[in-house]
Amino acid sequence: MVRAHRSLDLIKRIRLNAFGILWRAAVLYLGWAIVWPTKFNNLGPHPKPAPDYEAAMKLTEAFQKSDSAVATGGASIIFVHGHRTPRAFVLFHGLTNSPRQFSKLAATLSDSGDNVFVPRLPEHALQGATSSDLARLTAESLRDVADASIDIASGLGDTVVVLGVSLGGNEAAWTAQFRKVGRVVILAPALGLSHMSTRVETPVMNLMLRVPNYSKVEGPDTLRPDRELGWSSRGVGQMLRLGTAIRRDADKHPPGARDIRVLVNAHDHTVNREAIDELVEHWSAAGGRVAMYELADSLRLPHDIVDPDELTGNTRVTYPVILALLYGSTPAANSGARVITPH
């Protein structure tokens, strides 16, 4: 009987020791995941601009081959007039959305006589996919799409004008920093997460990139099969990684874009305003031509101010502001957008 008790005590001690070892290993791993530096130096540009319209269309055809497995309404959009136009617009959609987000705005720009390209971002709008599939997203693949899109637009128009919202805002900000284009309009870029100081953003990003992925998968929207509702921690981490790469390069080099317009929404509780303000300040300090505008809180607008299908959105208010910025003018005084100076 005594031997049995001693055996049980020994087993308990072994289990406790094993638990302690595993616990310490987990703490050490989390500590490593938080503090070990993440690589950003491989997220620069690899420009190969199309020299003319014909070359741009060949690049577009090659790009669209990746759309073979997309859900209905989720393919890249290309509106062209059969020749090079004064302007070529590139529109980058947001996280979990698709090019359809810009279908109405793209048609408006095309109707004015310019060529328009709306690329599908990697791992988005895939048939039967959920937000967990966004775990395959990488900052490199996002960079590659931004690079390829500007290469295409360079042959489609004399001046390249870029617009992006949320994750697409990061794509637009990357373009503004790294590519020599005419104008970039950045809407609510997801450079950081709301209610999180930029001081702790890097450790949080590191964790998202290194611990196992967690996805919140929401039920599919039968009216929008092109959307992957929910979110993926790994995908968000890669989005933040691209944003951090932009901000770090802006600390050292002036932006490549000749004209940068940033539009934020005072009622937006999704993105980190501090990170946006810091980037604008760095661009301004480096001699960049950058202006910042803010949509009034009283408009009660959602984070997505572009998608006409957004239930709480109001594109009758936002589109005139966005179009004014795209065409290089100042939004009307009664538009609900005011010029601001970052803190």
Q: What is the pLDDT of residues 248-301, one digit of tens each?
A: 999 999 999 999 999 999 999 999 999 999 999 999 999 999 999 999 999 999
Do 210 and 225 sit in the same domain of this protein?
yes
Same domain, residue pair 26 and 102? no
Residue 242: predicted pLDDT: 96
Number of domains forming the structure of the chain? 2
The rounded distance, in Å, linking the Cα atoms of 64 and 46 is 20
Q: Please choose, from the candidates 209, 210, 212, 215, the residue with its C-alpha nearest in 3D space to the C-alpha of residue 231.
A: 215
Mean pLDDT, rounded, of the chain? 89
- Tell me how long the chain is: 343
User: What is the Cα–Cα distance from 178 to 194, expressed in whole angstroms?
Assistant: 25
- CATH number of the domain where residue 153 is located: 3.40.50.1820
Is residue 166 within 8 Å of residue 270, measured between CB atoms? Answer: yes
Closest residue by Cα to residue 177 from 116, 238, 252: 252
Q: What is the pLDDT of residue 26?
A: 46
Based on the domain organization, do 206 and 110 belong to the same domain? yes
Q: Kindly state whether residues 173 and 28 are assigned to the same domain.
A: no
Indicate whether 105 and 235 sit together in one domain. yes
Question: Same domain, yes or no, for 19 and 138?
Answer: no
Q: What percent of the chain has pLDDT over 90?
A: 72
In angstroms and rounded to an integer, the radius of gyration of the C-alpha atoms of the chain is: 23
Q: ∠335-267-234 over CA atoms, to 5°?
A: 125
Q: Which residues form the domain of 172?
A: 42-339
Co-location of 64 and 31 in the same domain: no
Q: What is the pLDDT of residue 218?
A: 85
Asked if 311 and 335 sit in the same domain, the reply is yes
| Range scoring the smallest mean pLDDT among 3-12, 180-189, 322-331 | 3-12
pLDDT tens-digit readout, 144-197: 999 999 999 999 999 999 999 999 999 999 999 999 999 999 999 999 988 777
Question: What is the band of 74 on the pLDDT scale with cuts at 50, 70, 90?
Answer: very high
Examine the pLDDT at 223 and tell me if it is beyond 90.
Answer: no
Cβ distance 117 to 17 under 8 Å?
no
One domain for residues 149 and 293? yes
> Are both 5 and 149 inside the same structural domain?
no
